[in-house]
Amino acid sequence: MPISVYNRTWILETEHSAYVFGLNRAGMLVNCFWGNRLPARHDYPEPPDSSGWASFDGPAQCLPEEYPCYGGMSYHEPCLKACFADGVRDVRLSFQSASQADAEHLVLHLHDPYYPLAVDLHYRLHPQCDILERWAELRNEGNAIIQVERALSAAWQLPGPSAQRLSHLSGRWNDEFNLHRQPLTPGVFQLESRRMSSSHQHNPWFALDNGSATEESGQVWFGLLSWSGSWKLLAETTPFSSTRLLIGLNDWDFCWQLHPGETFTCPVSLAGYTQNGFGAASRLLHTHLRTQLPHAPALHKVLYNSWEATLFDVSAEGQAKLAEIAAQLGVERFVMDDGWFLGRHHDAAGLGDWKPDPTKFPHGLTPLIRRVHDLGMDFGLWLEPEMVNPNSDLYRAHPDWVLHYPTRPRTTARNQLMLNLARPDVQEYLIQSLSSLLSENDIAFIKWDMNRNVSEAGWPDAPGDPRQVWVEYTRGVYHVWNTLRTRFPNIVWQSCSGGGGRADAGILHLADQIWPSDNTSALARLRIQEGFSQAYPANTMEAWVTDADRHQLSLDFRFHVSMCGSLGIGGNLLAWSTAERLTAARHIARYKAIRPIVQLGDLYRLRSFAADGNPALLYLDQDRAHGVLFAFCTRADNPAAPTPISIRLQGLLPDGLYMMESQPLARSGASWMQQGLTLPLKPGESLLLQIERV
Ligand code: GLA
């Protein structure tokens, strides 16, 4: 049984880990344990008690509460802050009962003793991936509005010595997923997005360790927030030897009017534990995101995307010429990017009018789609549904549909404004217009872009508090996308926001893939992909070979970098020489053979790009019988001489006998993992080697 009750504690066990919490003698719901699964139920500690610390810190300050609220003597960051109709801003929650939705889903029912506020804490286990999902649901059981000013999804509690360091991913446009490992000191460390998307700046992923975990060893507690709008993470190190990591919706500029009878559901925060370092933490997340999302992971086709080749200079003939070469290379999907719709000759017009531009496509998209099909590929298209250019028919008809304040100028970015997707009429318009586009044309793939962040987050005539827009907008995106996904179940979807501006577990419920960055330089990608892979699996990571660093790096190297994810091509194929096209065709054929291992296998980051610029990655299938090793050299003391790059493999069966391409002898898994191998590579060189159990 993954969930059991023992002595007023709930024991939640996955294959290797346990998460235990319970009611202490004072009736507070507190965390007891989160770590390696133990043999017996009585092995786990009992719920801790405390009478506080002098007259200054009450029990709430000293104890790891499961869902701390702002009330009583609470000075730490709370998960919940609310104001009742009579102006009381003090929330107390006491345990009422527990129930199970199923064998892996526990719900604790809490209630304010005086006010009609019910809070359900949800715990859903994924035993195979050692993952626990948590979220809270607030319900107003009275007849007056309750103002909710903060509603985070979960507080993850750890003893301070275990959580002295926080790993996180930060960046900016064109420079996403920089991995930072930073010591936690007393006080609160905050990461957030106020941008109406999860953001390029900080990704809603975290890992905590005691400061000594490595890629291969050490205890790591890690997690994500499954939400694609503004969010917040607070890591608070208390004076009482504990660390609490709170995560959820951002409460910046936020207030939710919880109406009588209404339930407010927070997004899911999922987390896990491993004693095997950051690499194992990533693999658990990858497995979870590959196997537990609503849509089954398919093997992604090799695609061509026309953006970097043509920018806005799109025409039916130009696209067909690119498609012909793409097909010769072995590409399976041709994607026409921006520039195809009404008036879209530059970035200052057209967004919102999702019809083919008649000057570029006088007979619609059908002739081009037919041509692409005849070439043996399927057809994909770029969209940016949430946006509108002031120079568009949509904006001229509905200037009130954008986020704005009537008294303020509307700040454009890339000449565009954001439609207010919190509005049901805007959602309906998008569903209708995109449904027409998708039913009139045989489209197999959509790249859904979002090329700016919010400004003037006003919602005139909002039915409730206009600050609810922070949640309703994202829910609106989910609703539109989900409706389209349900109506057109065969379409493969990609999430893009000027690169990795909306890369999160929430969007992965809708998108099969993510475009991690507009930076397509292979050198930059090695770093970006390493960061991305901390949280998200290779099948979700679209990676194109483009003309960036064409004159600095070989096509082999650039292909190898992109073959570490879901391979695509984004260069101007018209300018590729015959030799380049032959090389590309060879790599594409090779990729098709190894793609199940790369896209659906386990990733071992054998060497880190961040460490010395010479990364190595191993992808292993679930049976540990087939693997693909990638090794890259980008830095060396002597650029003219080969650098011996030593690599120790991981994840193999120690007693299995493995043969590695280019190596003379079969060796045991133990030998590959302990002695490893040395590959002499010069800067700019790379290798792809397959390994097989014989
Ligand atoms: C964004 C995307 C690019 C491309 C352009 C088109 O920047 O990240 O890949 O689609 O928009 O305008």
Where in the chain are the domains? 3-292, 303-511+537-600, 606-693
Strand blocks (E) in 276-416: 303-305, 333-336, 378-383, 387-388
Of 112, 449, 504, 602, the catalytic one is 449
What CA dihedral angle connects 660, 663, 665 and 671, to 10 degrees? -60
The tokens for 344 are 């879209």
Tell me, which fold does domain 606-693 have in CATH? Answer: Immunoglobulin-like (2.60.40)
- Structural contact between residues 112 and 91, judged by C-beta atoms closer than 8 angstroms: yes
Q: Name which of 508, 498, 416 is nearest 450 in CA terms.
A: 498
How far is 80 from 102, CA to CA, in rounded Å?
A: 26
Continuous H helices in 503-608: 522-535, 555-562, 578-600
Nearest CA to ligand 1 atom 8: 498
Nearest CA to ligand 1 atom 2: 498
Nearest CA to ligand 1 atom 12: 338
Q: State whether the beta carbon of 176 lies less than 6 angstroms from ligand 1.
A: no
- Structural contact between residues 282 and 603, judged by C-beta atoms closer than 8 angstroms: yes
Distance 338 CA to ligand 1 centre (A): 7
| Atom of ligand 1 lying closest to residue 347 CA | 12
| Residue 638: C-alpha distances to residues 192, 406, 554, 644, 683 (Å) | 42, 63, 19, 11, 9
The long-range contacts involving 398-406, CB below 8 angstroms and separated by at least 24 positions, are: 398/429, 400/460, 401/425, 401/426, 401/429, 403/454, 403/455, 403/456, 403/457, 403/458, 403/459, 403/469, 403/473, 404/456, 404/458, 404/460, 405/456, 405/458, 405/460, 406/458, 406/460
What is the enclosing helix (H) or strand (E) of 670? helix 669-674
One-letter amino acid identity for 192?
E
Mutate which of 304, 306, 451 for ligand 1 pocket (most atoms within 8 A of beta carbon): 451
Q: Residue 384: CA atoms inside 13 Å, Cβ hemisphere, count? A: 28
547 flagged as catalytic: no
How far is 29 from 676, CA to CA, in rounded Å?
A: 49
Nearest CA to ligand 1 atom 6: 338
Distance 523 CA to ligand 1 centre (A): 20
Q: Name which of 684, 687, 685, 683 is nearest 639 in CA terms.
A: 683
- Structural contact between residues 213 and 167, judged by C-beta atoms closer than 8 angstroms: no
How far is 295 from 493, CA to CA, in rounded Å?
A: 11
Residue pointed to by tokens 């199923």: 102
- Give the predicted TM-score (pTM) of the model: 0.98
- Structural contact between residues 576 and 584, judged by C-beta atoms closer than 8 angstroms: yes
pLDDT of residue 43: 97
pLDDT of residue 467: 98
The Cβ of residue 53 has, within 10 Å, a number of other Cβ atoms equal to 13
Q: Which CATH architecture has domain 3-292?
A: Distorted Sandwich (2.70)
In degrees and rounded to multiples of 5, residue 497 shows phi and psi of -140, 85
Q: State whether the beta carbon of 446 lies less than 6 angstroms from ligand 1.
A: no
CATH class of domain segment(s) 303-511+537-600: alpha beta
What is the enclosing helix (H) or strand (E) of 283? helix 277-291
138 DSSP β-pair partners = 119, 264
Q: Name which of 276, 280, 273, 288 is nearest 18 in CA terms.
A: 273
Residues 6+ apart with CB under 8 A from 253: 194, 457, 467, 470
Query: Coil, strand or helix: which one is 54?
Result: coil
The tokens for 141 are 């059981």
| SS3 labels along 454-493 | CCCCCCCCCCCCHHHHHHHHHHHHHHHHHHHHHHCCCCEE
| Residue 201: C-alpha distances to residues 170, 171, 172, 246, 533 (Å) | 5, 5, 5, 19, 17
What is the enclosing helix (H) or strand (E) of 438? helix 424-440
Q: Is the CA virtual torsion 365, 366, 370, 371 positive or negative?
A: negative
Distance 308 CA to ligand 1 centre (A): 9
pLDDT of residue 426: 98
* Residues written for the chain: 694
357 flagged as catalytic: no
Q: State whether the beta carbon of 499 lies less than 6 angstroms from ligand 1.
A: yes
Residue pointed to by tokens 């801790």: 48
The tokens for 278 are 């950051």
Q: Give the DSSP letter string of 671-689.
A: HHHHT-EEEEE-TT-EEEE
269 DSSP β-pair partners = 134, 225
| Atom of ligand 1 lying closest to residue 382 CA | 10
pLDDT of residue 258: 98
DSSP 8-class letter at 575: G
The tokens for 226 are 């499954």
Mutate which of 305, 338, 494, 514 for ligand 1 pocket (most atoms within 8 A of beta carbon): 338
- Across the chain, which has 694 residues, the per-10-residue mean pLDDT values are 92 98 98 97 96 95 97 96 98 97 98 98 97 98 98 95 96 98 97 98 98 98 98 97 97 98 98 98 97 85 97 97 98 98 98 97 98 98 98 98 98 98 98 98 98 98 96 98 97 98 98 98 98 98 97 97 98 98 98 98 98 97 98 91 95 98 96 97 97 98
3-292 and 303-511+537-600 share one fold: no
